[in-house]
Amino acid sequence: MTKEFLQRHKENVFEKGFTVIHSVFSDEEIEKIIEVIQNVDTSKENFRKSDDLFAVRQFLKEVPDVKDLVFNDAVKTIVRELFGEQYIAVKSIYFDKPETSNWYVAYHQDLTISVDEKLEMQGFGPWTTKKNQFAVQPPLPILENICTIRIHLDDTDEHNGALKVVPGSHAKGIYRPETIDWNTETEEICNVEKGGIMIMKPLTLHGSNRTTGGRRRRVIHIEFSDMELPQQLKWSEKLN
């Protein structure tokens, strides 16, 4: 990955709110990641399993053996060059949409961060609490600072839940999906090959359709930031 190549993707993220980089992981690396996930104990409370979705919250904490595989040299370089030297992982989730999934996600922005406790603070709210996990909508500058990497363990297109996004929507602050004017906005489907990644700003409006092609979609979603939270509030996951 040359400086010019990475600079082009950095510009995409800045201007459009997302970019796709192919072949960040080899097939062998992906198979190793899948093997670690398959061997994990799924009975813990951070694991959610239904006919439509298997998900793991605090993924890097719950499956620590996967960390060295996920943060290969290419990912480290991408984080450093596209985000910044001080960016660290602050949230991680694993999704598995099975072949028969009817899981549909309407257009939305990712407006919450995961923190270690609930504190009444100006500019932070509303709060949600699930099984001793605390999520809160922070002030806009914190959301604008975050960058997300989505690692694709399967080929993903419009038939198995690839993200659809509204380019440029990340630059418009809090953008309610019901106010989208499709006369001026466009929609783009982000196809990502197995072993590729999608990089996205959380404020980019995004959603996904139901699976229609009989193929599963497995994704590791990791959010990065270089900001310290105010007062004694801390990110619930924090991994250098």
Phi, psi of 142 (to 5 degrees): -70, -45
| CA–CA dist 94, 207 (Å, integer) | 17
pLDDT at residue 52 in the model: 77
| CA–CA dist 66, 49 (Å, integer) | 20
| CA–CA dist 222, 220 (Å, integer) | 7
CA 45, 231, 126: angle at the middle one, nearest 5? Answer: 55
Domain boundaries defined on the chain: 3-225
Closest of 65, 63, 118 to residue 93, by C-alpha: 63
pLDDT at residue 4 in the model: 96
Helix segments in 79-222, DSSP class H: 140-145
pLDDT at residue 48 in the model: 86
pTM, two decimals, is: 0.96
What distance lies between CA 190 and its chain's CA centroid? 13
pLDDT at residue 32 in the model: 98
Name the CATH architecture for the domain at 3-225. Answer: Sandwich (2.60)
- Which residue in this structure is represented by tokens 């619930």? 236
Query: Could you tell me which residues are beta bridge partners of residue 122?
Result: none
Tens digit of each residue's pLDDT, the chain (240 residues): 899 999 999 999 999 999 999 999 999 999 999 999 999 988 888 888 877 778 999 999 999 999 999 999 999 999 999 999 999 999 999 999 888 777 789 999 999 999 999 999 999 999 999 877 899 999 999 999 999 999 999 999 998 989 999 999 999 999 999 999 999 999 999 999 999 999 999 999 999 988 887 888 999 999 999 999 998 999 999 987
Query: Could you tell me which residues are beta bridge partners of residue 127?
Result: 136
| CA–CA dist 61, 175 (Å, integer) | 32
Cis ω for the linkage preceding 138 (within 30 of 0): no
Q: Is 11 helix (H, G, I), strand (E, B) or coil?
A: helix
